[in-house]
Amino acid sequence: MKTFTISAVSAALLLAGTSALAQSSSPMNYDPSPYLGGDALFWELDPDRGPGSADSIGLRLRGGVAFNDYFALEGHLGGGGSDGSVELDYLAGAYAKGILPITPDFRLYGLAGFTEVDFDIEEESGFSWGGGAEFDVAPNLALGADYVRYLDESNYTFDAASVGMTFRF
């Protein structure tokens, strides 16, 4: 079931990206812009019932392609951190990214997609959403922060706040 869900989401994101790419070949001739980022990942696993939450700090690698000033496809790969009772082995996900340019150097964005998360105690996948902001500090370098709800299961939630840098090629 998880493989089917991830495959279906990947296909939907690919179709959305193809559509965005087709739209981006308008008279403005916007070239797709790849980017790569690295972040400190402050994660928390919060059970709805039972013992207290688990939280720690890991690392996250992000990569994507901005098809225009308003839309990108992005992938996350992260892991690390343990509070003793729970360890984050990895998270991997694919997201559509809606971008709202506030100024030429400052952007807000929203993310929606699917993530697979593997803790040493359990592996789950599901719908994810979040938002963040980026500020350009050089022509191809931005500082940013975001908050993502990676999983919202019936008995727990898994959230992360991240701070890091993004390099645009």
Q: How far is CA 120 from CA 27, 59, 60, 81, 124, in A?
A: 51, 17, 18, 11, 11
pLDDT confidence of residue 141 = 97
- Give ∠ CA 113-28-142 in degrees, rounded to 5: 50
Provide the token pair at 87.
Answer: 């360890």
Give tens-digit pLDDT for 18-38.
Answer: 444 444 444 456 789 999 999
Question: What are the structural domains, with CATH classification, of the chain?
Answer: 2-168 (2.40.160.20)
pLDDT confidence of residue 89 = 95
User: Is the Cβ–Cβ distance between 142 and 165 less than 8 Å?
Assistant: yes
Residues 6+ apart with CB under 8 A from 113: 9, 13, 74, 93, 94, 95, 96, 127, 128
Q: For the chain, which residues score pLDDT lower than 70?
A: 1-29, 49-50
Bridge partners (DSSP) of residue 163 are 40, 145
Q: Report residue 73 CA to chain centroid gap.
A: 9
